[in-house]
Amino acid sequence: MTSVFYLFRDAPHRRAALALEPGSPARYSLFGMDELANRGYAVRHNLARQQPAAWARATGGILKRGLELAGGYGGDFGTVLASQRELNRADVVFSTVDTVGIPLMLLARARVVRPPFVYVAIGLPERLVQLRSARMERLYARALGSASSVVAYSEHEAGVLREWLGERGVDARVEFVPFGVDVEAFRPTGMPPDVDVVSIGGDPHRDFELLLTVARGMPETSFLAVTTADRARSLAGRPANVNVETDLPFDEMRRRLERARVVALPVRENSYSGATTVLLQAMALAKPVVVTRTAAIAAGYGLEDGANVRLVAPADAEGFGGAIADLLGDDARSGELGARARASVEAELSWDRYVDRLAAILRAGALSGMDDSTR
């Protein structure tokens, strides 16, 4: 039985997901952990305890500060150190986000962490450009190159990482793995829409300012923005036709998507975020979606403007508003677009396909560790 140790970033929504019964839709944020367990993997994770022990937090803080003073980019060393004994007993370690992945790869380079590990990059290029010396760049390149696989959910980000590593003489296995959606949990229920435009998201690249610009030009159209309390502060001064809700539970967020005639997902250009999770959820619900064509989703997800989504260039408020108006003004066309969106995710972007790809990568990582131990 292959044992996998999951390293998560400690966050309230992830702890809330862990408290739910396996199989609950909100547990998608556990990156396939339940599904791997159902396939016979022995799975453990770092959030079984409430918080890292005091010694781990203190040592982790010292390492982080020292690394940053030397020109590096830190992370949550305390979480990794607190789990050192458990993760060293695993066949493979799965780092789900850079916050714990950077400390993991550096501790693996120092042989504090021994099993093979799979590194998921979510915006890693933006972090690597903050390294302040060639020496640090070489250290990070070699540490990242020691991963059994580097996974990116953006084909563009995977390409950027391959180029960055290659320029520093490191030949690493960097793989693009499209994210997925549970097509059963996000199956349309027939709920009638009662909001013209719904936009959901809280990451720093969401362009809510562009959404407000569009809304001001469509005063008779109702808009609903669902985001975090922190991001909602940037929506002060919004027009009267824009309502805002914050920090909704997973099930309520899903209902807001179902209430939309059109789902609008404006995003600023970046290498890794294309509002991907909400985009796939809305497509699975057969909603017509207008989304920014960022580098993160321009390739690899089978998106085609006018076929299964509407794609608009970054920062193009006029084009974004025009795409929304076109869909709101033609229910038949909107319905056809939504139906093709649903068919696209069922064919290529389901959660099962994501877990299949992930399981193959983790299995290969575990086997590489077994091969090393027999040499």
pLDDT digits (tens, 9 = 90+) for 145-187: 999 999 999 999 999 999 999 999 999 999 999 999 999 999 9
Q: Are strands 117-121 and 92-95 parallel, antiparallel or unpaired?
A: parallel
Nearest to 103 by CA among 202, 165, 203, 10: 10
Model confidence pLDDT, tens digit, residues 113-130:
999 999 999 999 999 999
- pLDDT grade for 25, boundaries at 50, 70 and 90: confident
In 3-state terms, what secondary structure has residue 159? Answer: helix
In 3-state terms, what secondary structure has residue 120? Answer: strand
**66 near 136, Cβ under 8 Å?**
no
| Statement: 195-348 belongs to CATH 3.90.1150.10 | no
pLDDT at 131: 96
Total H helices, total E strands in the chain:
17, 12
Please tell me the distance from the alpha carbon of residue 278 to that of residue 51, in angstroms, as a whole number. 29
Helix (H) / strand (E) containing 141: helix 134-145
**336 near 9, Cβ under 8 Å?**
no
282-305 burial code (b ≥16 CB/10 A, e <16): bbbbbbbbbbbbbbbbeebbebee
- pLDDT grade for 347, boundaries at 50, 70 and 90: very high
- pLDDT grade for 375, boundaries at 50, 70 and 90: very low
Q: Where are the beta strands (DSSP E) in the chain?
A: 3-7, 42-45, 92-95, 117-121, 149-152, 174-176, 195-200, 223-227, 242-246, 260-265, 289-292, 310-312
pLDDT at 374: 43
The number of residues making up the chain comes to 375
Please tell me the distance from the alpha carbon of residue 224 to that of residue 196, in angstroms, as a whole number. 8
In 3-state terms, what secondary structure has residue 32? Answer: coil
Please tell me the distance from the alpha carbon of residue 159 to that of residue 166, in angstroms, as a whole number. 11
Mean pLDDT of 19-26: 90
**Angle ∠(318,319,322) on CA atoms, nearest 5:** 85
Query: Virtual CA dihedral for 130, 229, 277, 314, nearest 10 degrees?
Result: -60
Q: Do domains 3-180+352-373 and 195-348 have the same CATH topology?
A: yes
Q: 């909603």: which residue's tokens?
A: 287
**In the chain, where the domains are located:** 3-180+352-373, 195-348
Q: 């939309």: which residue's tokens?
A: 260
Taking the chain, what is the end-to-end CA distance rounded to the nearest angstrom? 21
What are the φ/ψ torsions at residue 83 (nearest 5 degrees)?
A: -100, 10
User: Which string of DSSP letters, residue by residue, matches 65-92?
Assistant: HHHHHTT-----HHHHHHTHHHHTTSSE
Model confidence pLDDT, tens digit, residues 64-95:
999 999 999 999 999 999 999 999 999 999 99
- Percent pLDDT > 90 in the chain is 89
Nearest to 67 by CA among 106, 97, 105: 106
pLDDT at 371: 61
Q: 């998560």: which residue's tokens?
A: 8
Q: Mean pLDDT across the chain, nearest whole number?
A: 94
262-273 burial code (b ≥16 CB/10 A, e <16): bbbbbbbbbbbb
Please tell me the distance from the alpha carbon of residue 92 to that of residue 108, in angstroms, as a whole number. 12
The pair of structure tokens assigned to 70 is 């030397």
| Statement: 3-180+352-373 belongs to CATH 3.90.25.10 | no
**288 near 257, Cβ under 8 Å?**
no
pLDDT at 220: 97
pLDDT at 292: 98
Model confidence pLDDT, tens digit, residues 307-318:
999 999 999 999
DSSP state of 301: S
